[in-house]
């Protein structure tokens, strides 16, 4: 009798499957449309899996009775979307080879929205019919997405893993504008660890694809809290990104309020007069034309500070966020381009923010952490109450009149490689979990009533008084001494690591050499800065 040899099932990694999903539509349409098509189909798959699981539970409990199996409330009660038969994943797979598969998928999207009011406006309607992809390519995509299954890949958070992959890789392969919908996960984690959103309302005025909201929930879960104690509200101006955010949060079961539509936070605040406990944000850097020349001149958000200039929205974002924070305990962590630390055009607003004691910490991050720019950016911590008290069970001292500065530009040893296309990769600096905890430790030690826990560290951190009159020692430098600059390099001590170098003469030599090399009247300022950094001289 002949022995039957069973063919061993080929083991394919999750990364391979996700990569195959991306390349299935290669050469068809725009990056944005392909991104939305892939992520939307994954949404259908996960929604379908959750529905099928819940339906099996109901059948086991009540039997094959339509009154129970087809009642939407029985699904919605456990954060599962009710799906009509034509919107179920099994139906999509069954018809994957049909000539009208694009229309079938579009109808499934419309049916889900129709059955679940919470998804109104979240899904891209008529996307597949206008994609221009042949049915063979759509079938290939469906076949690959169908492989993303918990029975095959035993990930603790498979949905999160898949969404994070696609958001990250499409951001890495996009332009500067395309990358605005995604903030690197390690930076979002750092913000959450710094402001500790255990309970209350978390707000993001430019929420992108929702990464800040996702991380706030992860923070609560990782510290054994109750995610039901967190509610999230936000706003996003770009329609496609607003949809991505709603999908991202909905499929993870995160309740949210993003308004009824996409809209500009400045000209159409969808959460007007709302006060929040926490803000986590990554506003577009140096945004121009955020208002018309004569718009918002008398807006109450600028009261006491002055009207932010039209050509750069950095300080408009800051003032907007401060206007949203609870005046007794609100705290915000947000990112801005380094230019905001010392921009002379924003001097008066910056000076008033400092004098009003709203800024608690300024942390310059390593270069090259973002996928669409290699610049270093700054994490700002704004705190509406720097008085002594208790924060999440820990006693903190009165930090009034002080700001903590940190410079992490030397923390660039950890590099992550992202494959964005065949033979094309991007390398980006990442903060490790250990580094994130080290940053948090410095910040919490500085806040602590036990003053022995914190000490200034050359080339890393420095606690600085705001006013000259409050300096402990005459030789100390205050923020007032430096004309209200927030650049950490003006306060953190720099050490000459090579004592044999005469820095004044060395810089003079370099400047003379560079003058000789000039071939035109214009010499890039960045070249000069790079020359200084080459000898270890700290410059912003």
- What pLDDT, on the 0 to 100 scale, is given for residue 225? 85
Average the pLDDT over 34-42 and give the result: 93
- What pLDDT, on the 0 to 100 scale, is given for residue 531? 44
Give the chain's length: 540
Angle among Cα 347, 335, 482 to the nearest 5 degrees reads: 30
Are 463 and 478 in contact by the 8 Å Cβ rule? The answer is no
Three-class SS state of 1:
coil
Residue that wins the pLDDT comparison between 349 and 1: 349
Average the pLDDT over 117-129 and give the result: 90
> In the beta sheet, which residues pair with residue 202?
232, 278
Q: pTM of the full predicted structure?
A: 0.86
- What pLDDT, on the 0 to 100 scale, is given for residue 505? 56
- The confidence band for 524, taking pLDDT boundaries of 50, 70 and 90, is very low
Are 537 and 507 in contact by the 8 Å Cβ rule? The answer is yes
Q: Does residue 264 register a pLDDT over 60?
A: yes
- What pLDDT, on the 0 to 100 scale, is given for residue 422? 66
CA distance 373 to 407: 19
Q: Does residue 412 register a pLDDT over 50?
A: yes
- The confidence band for 116, taking pLDDT boundaries of 50, 70 and 90, is very high
Average the pLDDT over 55-59 and give the result: 95
CB-based contacts of 63: which residues, under 8 Å, 6+ apart? none
Lowest mean pLDDT among 77-81, 107-111, 341-345, 498-502: 498-502
Tokens 């030789």 locate to 475
Three-class SS state of 256:
strand
Q: Is 116 exposed, middle or buried (0-12, 13-18, 19+ CB in 10 A)?
A: buried
Which one is the CATH code of 166-490: 3.10.129.10, 3.40.50.150, 3.40.50.970, 3.40.50.1360?
3.40.50.150
Q: Does residue 423 register a pLDDT over 50?
A: yes
**Please, what is the end-to-end C-alpha distance for the chain in angstroms?**
80
**Average pLDDT of the residues of the chain:** 88
Alpha helical stretches, state H, 24-82: 31-62, 66-69, 73-76
Residue 270, Cβ neighbours under 10 Å: how many? Answer: 19
**pLDDT of 222-247, one tens digit each?**
988 888 899 999 999 999 899 999 99
Average the pLDDT over 309-333 and give the result: 97
> Where in the chain are the domains?
14-153, 166-490, 503-533
Average the pLDDT over 161-175 and give the result: 81
Specify whether the backbone of 307 is left (phi greater than 0), alpha (psi in -120 to 50) or beta: beta
Q: Does residue 9 register a pLDDT over 50?
A: no
14-153, CATH topology level: Ferritin (1.20.1260)
- What pLDDT, on the 0 to 100 scale, is given for residue 124? 87
> Between β-strands 461-465 and 402-407, what pairing exists: parallel, antiparallel or unpaired?
antiparallel
Average the pLDDT over 514-534 and give the result: 46
The rounded percent of the chain whose pLDDT value lies above 90 is 68
Q: Does residue 7 register a pLDDT over 50?
A: no
CA distance 312 to 325: 22
CB-based contacts of 417: which residues, under 8 Å, 6+ apart? 425, 426, 427
Q: Does residue 404 register a pLDDT over 60?
A: yes
- What pLDDT, on the 0 to 100 scale, is given for residue 173? 74
> In the beta sheet, which residues pair with residue 195?
none
Average the pLDDT over 40-44 and give the result: 95
- What pLDDT, on the 0 to 100 scale, is given for residue 259? 94
DSSP 257: E
CA distance 360 to 356: 11
Average the pLDDT over 83-87 and give the result: 95
Average the pLDDT over 26-48 and give the result: 90
Q: Does residue 179 register a pLDDT over 50?
A: no
Average the pLDDT over 362-380 and give the result: 89
The candidate with the shortest Cα–Cα distance to 279, out of 395, 164, 172, 358, is 358
């Amino acid at each position: 009798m002949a022995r039957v040899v069973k063919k061993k099932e080929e083991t394919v990694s999750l990364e391979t499957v996700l990569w195959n999903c991306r390349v299935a539509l290669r050469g068809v349409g725009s990056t944005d449309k392909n991104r939305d098509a892939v992520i939307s189909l994954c949404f259908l798959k996960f929604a379908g899996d959750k529905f099928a699981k819940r339906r099996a539970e109901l059948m086991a409990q009540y039997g094959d009775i339509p009154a129970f199996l087809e009642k939407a409330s029985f699904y919605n009660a456990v954060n599962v979307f009710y799906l009509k038969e034509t919107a179920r994943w099994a139906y999509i797979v069954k018809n994957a080879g049909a000539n009208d598969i694009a229309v079938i998928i579009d109808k499934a999207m419309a049916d889900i929205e129709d059955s679940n009011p919470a998804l109104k406006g979240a899904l891209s309607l008529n996307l597949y019919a206008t994609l221009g992809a042949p049915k063979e390519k759509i079938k290939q995509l469906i076949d690959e997405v169908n492989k993303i299954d918990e029975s095959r890949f035993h990930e603790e958070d498979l949905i999160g893993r898949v969404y994070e992959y696609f958001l990250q890789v499409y951001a890495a392969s996009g332009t500067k504008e395309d990358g605005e919908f995604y903030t690197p996960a390690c930076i979002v984690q750092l913000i959450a660890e710094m402001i500790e959103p255990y309970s209350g309302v978390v707000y993001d005025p430019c929420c992108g694809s929702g990464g800040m909201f996702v991380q706030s929930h992860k923070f609560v879960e990782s510290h054994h809290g109750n995610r039901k104690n967190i509610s999230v509200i936000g706003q996003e101006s770009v329609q496609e990104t607003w949809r991505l955010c709603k999908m991202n949060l909905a499929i993870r079961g995160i309740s949210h309020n993003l308004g009824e539509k996409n809209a500009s936070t400045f000209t159409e605040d969808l959460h007007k007069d709302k006060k929040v406990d926490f803000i986590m944000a990554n506003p577009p850097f140096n945004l121009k034309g955020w208002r018309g020349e004569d718009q918002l001149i008398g807006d109450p958000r600028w009261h006491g500070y002055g009207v932010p200039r039209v050509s750069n929205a950095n300080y408009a974002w800051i003032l907007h966020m401060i206007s949203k924070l609870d005046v007794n305990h609100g705290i915000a962590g947000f990112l801005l381009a380094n230019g905001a630390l010392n921009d002379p055009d924003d001097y008066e607003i910056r000076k008033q923010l400092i004098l009003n004691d709203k800024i608690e910490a300024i942390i310059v991050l390593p270069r090259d952490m973002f996928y669409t720019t290699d610049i270093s950016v700054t994490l700002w911590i704004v705190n509406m109450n720097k008085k002594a008290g208790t924060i999440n069970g820990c006693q903190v001292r009165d930090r009034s009149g002080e700001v903590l500065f940190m410079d992490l530009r030397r923390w660039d040893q950890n590099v992550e490689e992202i494959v964005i296309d065949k033979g094309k990769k991007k390398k980006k600096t990442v903060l490790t979990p250990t580094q994130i905890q080290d940053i948090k430790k410095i910040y919490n030690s500085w806040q602590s009533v036990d003053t022995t826990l914190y000490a200034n560290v050359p080339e890393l951190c420095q606690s600085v008084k705001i006013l000259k009159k409050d300096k402990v020692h005459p030789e100390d430098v205050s923020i007032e001494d430096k004309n209200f600059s927030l650049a950490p390099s003006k306060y953190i001590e720099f050490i000459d690591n090579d004592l044999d170098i005469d820095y004044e003469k060395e810089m003079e030599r370099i400047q003379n050499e560079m003058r000789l090399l000039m071939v035109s009247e214009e010499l890039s300022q960045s070249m000069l800065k790079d020359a200084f950094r080459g000898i270890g001289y700290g410059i912003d």
